[in-house]
Amino acid sequence: MPQGRLPGLRFAFGTLSVLRVRVDRWDRTAGGRAMLCAPVVGLVLGALAAGAGALVAPRGGGLLAAVAAVAALAALTRGLHLDGLADVADGLGSGKPAEDALRIMKQSDIGPFGVLTLVLVLLGQVAALAGQFDRSAGQGALAVVAAAVAARCALAWGCRRGVPAARPGGLGAMVAGTVPAAGAAAVSAASAAALGLAALPYGRWAAAYPLALAVGLGCAALLLRRCVRRFDGITGDVLGSMAETAATGTLVALALFAPQ
């Protein structure tokens, strides 16, 4: 990998995972590269979580395997994206002006909208994954990887040029507007193609995996549009909520379209 990409990759792993990586650059250039490298983080974390699920599936069944995979992903990110999802739900649900909603999102507690959203999203992820693991450990593992990669592809779209930061400071301001739309499209297309190749053993159903990724990104795009209108831009919480939305949308789409 070219030396110019290494700071971005370190930035991505250092901010988006619990893996110990030395981050030697903390600037907007490195931040933009990190968002383009984020699907690589998704691939690594997804593979680790998929391994946890695949180990549990033969003896514990699909439901327990799904719980293991979702829990592993949460642990590997310190629950960062789930926290962002809860905060955004509270901010959107408050019905208050942007400044007040952003203040609610910064508070350390979780309100009723956040709790309800977390419960429903986690239930949806586990239910969708349980069906995949029930069919086969390999199919469940690939679904975990697809969701993790889709989640990180969504970050590049959230940071594309023209999308402002909602407030100064924080990760959102560091990476807002740093990714060209062509770059976001390229990493998403590459990720979709890689998933399709990985799913070739499923024959004609291999197309379900790129399609599911597209559905997940579409769901995240709708959330981004709502957040930009509501908060006048993005924050780190908005990016985290986009990641969880993309992952959930991908898993639900796979539950509907993947081989039975």
**Which whole number is the average pLDDT over 84-106?**
91
Residue 228 domain-assigned (yes or no): yes
Residue 197 domain-assigned (yes or no): yes
Residue 31 domain-assigned (yes or no): no
Paired with 160 in beta bridges are 179
The residues, any chain, with a CB within 8 Å of residue 75's CB and separated by 6 or more, are 18
Residue 40 domain-assigned (yes or no): no
The residues, any chain, with a CB within 8 Å of residue 142's CB and separated by 6 or more, are 50, 132, 195, 198, 199, 209
Does the pLDDT at position 156 exceed 70? yes
Domain holding 76, by residue range, is: 47-257
Residue 194 domain-assigned (yes or no): yes
pLDDT per position as a tens digit, 194-212: 999 999 988 778 899 999 9
| Cα distance between residue 6 and residue 4, in whole Å | 6
Q: pLDDT band at residue 3, thresholds of 50, 70 and 90?
A: very low
Does the pLDDT at position 1 exceed 70? no
pLDDT at position 6: 77
Count of domains forming the chain = 1
**Which whole number is the average pLDDT over 127-148?**
95
Does the pLDDT at position 8 exceed 90? no
Residue 5 domain-assigned (yes or no): no
Residue 61 domain-assigned (yes or no): yes
When the pLDDT of each residue in the chain is averaged and rounded to a whole number, the result is 92
Residue 120 domain-assigned (yes or no): yes
**Which whole number is the average pLDDT over 157-163?**
95
